[in-house]
């Protein structure tokens, strides 16, 4: 059996039995939604509807309704795209990379983090889709044999690699998420009283019977998917970064982009997981499973990745000077002191300075402070993408082309709409899906549960 040192903190608080875990995880699905849920859902739905309105307006009127201009031809939409893709990273990281590193605390949070991944990739995919203009021809991004002469996608373009990377990422994440859900859906099915509900979960759980053979196949598949998902964590944001870094625009073309984008993505993803789980934990009283230690761990990951991003910022700044290339030097000087200085310094403050508070145990175990920082980081990571994209473009090589970007109400509306859409999906998920991977969590109850750890301490180690 797995041995765990007594010095390690328990991951499940209180004297829980397997049945307690079942009941408490199934509760949000089996009971009526709390009032706060309805409130949050209505608000999210409203934003979503507003977003749909703005999208329809864009499609009807054209991209001219956005704030883009000839010099800044990429701005708000791509910022949002990268922001949402980045947020999606934490789910895969938690389910695959933390699995490889045997971090058992991932079990309380992986389900929701993976759900977040799926929902945020959906938001991300919207933006290029709309920006390309004719949404109904969106499938042109895929290479397919056709009768239009040699009408092929441009295989040399990182934008195409992005299509491949993100669609692969989405499919693997979805399958990974779903495979983990099967035993948990079966648990809901077995407990359901309402025949309609029972039938739905019966379909969803693929006839799971909990036999030894089922578990063996389940575990084997999980391992294979984890192996596939790990390089995907790196590849997706690497290729997003190449959308910029392969070009010869000062501030975009820099070799550190791939790993730095990945670190930033994990950073923002964990911040979003933190935001969501603090809400879930409170709304559904999951404090015994999503413990203070879980929150502390995530804060440490946020601090670590925030610092890595910080090192990358400083490296870029230093290299711009060191390179002796005047365009590079100007690009960074302009970022820090030009007309968009406020965006640059918001980014620096939110992403590099604010996570440093997490060095203090008092602060990283303070829920309200953690919640605030998680929001601050998300704002900062949005600004990071804005800074990279807009400040590099708005000063063209030709000074006569210099211009500024400001978003139109449609830009803002679509962004708010995706936030609404995201929360609509997430809130629906918390009512219909088990938000904690209970089958997996049960495997560590006897080695990491508080009650069992105490027993072990009182009665010797074996």
Partner 1 sequence: MFQFTSKAKTFSYILILVGLVSWVAGYVLNNSHEADSGNHTEVVAHTENTAHDAHELDMAHGHATAHGDGINHETQINNRPWSALMVNSFFFLALGLGTLFFLAVQYAAQAGWALGLTRVMEAIALFMPIPLIVIIVLIVLGQLHVHHLWHWMDPELYIEGGEHYDSIIAGKQGYLNFGFFLARAIIYLVGWTYAARWFRKNSLKEDEVGGDVYYKKNFKMGAIFLVFYGVTSSTSAWDFIMSIDTHWFSTLFGWYTFAGIFVTSIAGLTMLTIYLKGQGYMEWINENHLQDLGKFMFAFSVFWTYLWFSQFMLIWYANIPEEVTYYMQRFGEYKLLFFTMVAMNFVMPILIIMSRDSKRISGLLIFAGVFVLAGHWLDHYIMIMPGTVGSHYGFGLLEIGPFLFYFGLFILVVFRNLAKAPLLQKNHPMIKESEYFHQ
Q: Are 170 and 236 in contact (CB under 8 A)?
A: no
Q: How far apart are CA 194 and CA 198, in angstroms?
A: 6
Q: How far apart are CB 329 and partner 1 at their closest, in Å?
A: 9
Contact residue for partner 1 among 137, 193, 212, 248 (CB under 8 A): 248
Query: Is the CB of 244 or the CB of 284 nearer to partner 1?
Result: 244
Structure tokens at 386: 């804005």
Least distance in Å: CB of 404 to partner 1? 27
12 DSSP β-pair partners: 449
Q: How far apart are CA 86 and CA 430, in angstroms?
A: 22
Q: Which residues pair with 449 in a beta bridge?
A: 12
Please list every residue from 14 through 43 that binds partner 1, using CB under 8 A. none
Dist. CA 278–CA 292, nearest whole Å = 10
Judged by CB under 8 A, does residue 403 bind partner 1?
Answer: no
Residue closer to partner 1 (CB basis): 148 or 155: 155
Q: Would you state the torsion angle of the CA atoms of residues 430, 436, 438, 443, taken in this order, to the nearest 10 degrees?
A: 170
Instruction: Give the x/- contact pattern for partner 1 in 214-243, rule: CB under 8 A.
Output: -----------------x--x---x---x-
Nearest to 11 by CA among 114, 119, 89, 98: 98
As measured in angstroms, the least distance from the Cβ of 354 to partner 1 is 17
- Compare residues 59 and 308 and give the one whose CB is closer to partner 1: 308
Question: Does position 259 bind partner 1 by CB under 8 A?
Answer: yes
Tell me if 460 contacts partner 1 by CB under 8 A.
no
Nearest CA-CA partner of 443 in 178, 110, 97: 110
7 binds partner 1 (CB under 8 A): yes
Regarding 333 and contact with partner 1 (CB under 8 A), the answer is: no
Contact with partner 1 (CB under 8 A) among 38, 142, 322, 402? 322
How far is it, in rounded angstroms, from Cα 253 to Cα 272? 28
Window 81-120: contact mask with partner 1 (x via CB under 8 A): -------------------x--------------------
Q: Is 254 an interacting residue with respect to partner 1 (CB under 8 A)?
A: yes
- Residue 319 or residue 412: which is nearer to partner 1 going by CB? 319
Q: What is the chain's alpha carbon radius of gyration, rounded to the nearest angstrom? A: 23
Establish if 4 lies at the interface with partner 1 (CB under 8 A): yes
Question: How many Å apart are CA 174 and CA 190, to the nearest integer?
Answer: 24
Residues 128, 117, 420, 340, CA torsion sign: negative
Our CB check for partner 1 shows the closer of 25 and 242 to be 242
Is 343 within 8 Å of 351 (Cβ atoms)? Answer: no
In this chain, which stretch among 3-11, 19-27, 39-47, 449-457 interacts with partner 1, using CB under 8 A? 3-11
256 forms part of the interface with partner 1 (CB under 8 A): yes
Pick the piece of the chain touching partner 1 (CB under 8 A) from 57-65, 176-184, 310-318, 390-398: 310-318
CA gap 218, 33 in Å, rounded: 32
Q: Is 365 in the site for partner 1 (CB under 8 A)?
A: no
Q: Tell me the backbone φ, ψ of residue 404, rounded to 5 degrees.
A: -125, 165
Shortest Å distance, C-beta 4 to partner 1: 7
Asked if 319 interacts with partner 1 (CB under 8 A), we say yes
List Cα–Cα distances, 381 to 86, 316, 373, in angstroms.
9, 17, 12
Tokens of 360: 């203090």
Rounded Cα distance, 415 and 403, in Å: 23
Distance in Å, CB of 197 to partner 1, minimum: 40
Least separation in angstroms between CB 13 and partner 1? 20
State the residue for tokens 């936030």. 419
* Residue numbers at the binding site for partner 1 (CB under 8 A): 3-8, 100, 231, 234, 238, 242, 245-248, 253-259, 307-308, 311-312, 315-316, 319, 322-325, 461
């Amino acid at each position: 059996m797995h041995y765990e040192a007594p010095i390690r903190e328990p991951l499940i608080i209180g004297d829980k039995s397997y049945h307690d875990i079942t009941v408490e995880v199934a509760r949000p699905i089996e009971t009526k939604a709390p009032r706060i849920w309805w409130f949050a859902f209505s608000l999210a739905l409203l934003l979503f509807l507003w977003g749909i309105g703005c999208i329809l307006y864009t499609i009807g009127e054209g991209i001219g309704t956005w704030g883009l201009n000839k010099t800044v031809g990429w701005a708000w939409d791509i910022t949002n795209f990268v922001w949402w893709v980045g947020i999606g990273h934490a789910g895969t990281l938690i389910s695959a990379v933390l699995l490889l590193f045997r971090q058992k605390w991932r079990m309380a949070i992986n389900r929701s983090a993976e759900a977040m991944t799926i929902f945020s990739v959906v938001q991300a995919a919207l933006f290029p889709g709309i920006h390309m203009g004719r949404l109904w021809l969106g499938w042109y991004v895929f290479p397919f044999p056709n009768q239009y002469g040699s009408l092929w996608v441009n295989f040399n373009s990182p934008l195409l690699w992005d299509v491949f990377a993100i669609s692969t990422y989405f499919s693997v994440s979805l399958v990974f998420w779903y495979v983990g859900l099967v035993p948990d859906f079966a648990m809901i099915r077995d407990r359901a009283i309402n025949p309609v509900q029972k039938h739905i979960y019966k379909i969803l759980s693929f006839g799971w019977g909990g036999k030894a053979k089922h578990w063996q196949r389940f575990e084997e598949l999980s391992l294979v998917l984890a192996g596939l998902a790990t390089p995907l964590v790196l590849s997706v944001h690497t290729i997003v970064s190449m959308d910029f870094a392969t070009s010869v625009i000062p501030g975009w073309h820099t070799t550190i982009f791939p790993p730095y984008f990945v670190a930033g993505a994990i950073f923002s993803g964990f911040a979003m997981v933190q935001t969501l789980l603090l809400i879930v934990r409170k709304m559904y009283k999951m404090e015994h499973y999503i413990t203070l230690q879980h929150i502390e761990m995530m804060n440490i990951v946020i601090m670590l990745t925030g610092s890595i991003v910080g090192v990358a910022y400083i490296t870029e700044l230093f290299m711009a000077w060191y390179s002796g290339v005047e365009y590079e030097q100007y690009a960074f000087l302009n970022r820090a002191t030009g007309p968009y200085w406020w965006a640059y310094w918001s980014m620096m403050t939110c992403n590099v300075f604010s996570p440093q508070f997490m060095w203090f145990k008092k602060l990283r175990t303070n829920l309200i402070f953690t919640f605030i920082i998680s929001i601050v980081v998300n704002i900062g990571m949005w600004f990071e993408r804005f800074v990279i994209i807009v400040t590099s473009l708005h000063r063209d090589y030709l000074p006569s082309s210099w211009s500024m970007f400001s978003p139109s109400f449609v830009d803002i509306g679509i962004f708010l709409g995706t936030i609404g859409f995201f929360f609509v999906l997430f809130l629906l998920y918390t009512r219909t899906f088990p938000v904690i991977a209970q089958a997996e969590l049960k495997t560590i109850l006897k080695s990491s549960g508080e009650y069992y750890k105490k027993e072990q301490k009182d009665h010797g180690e074996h």
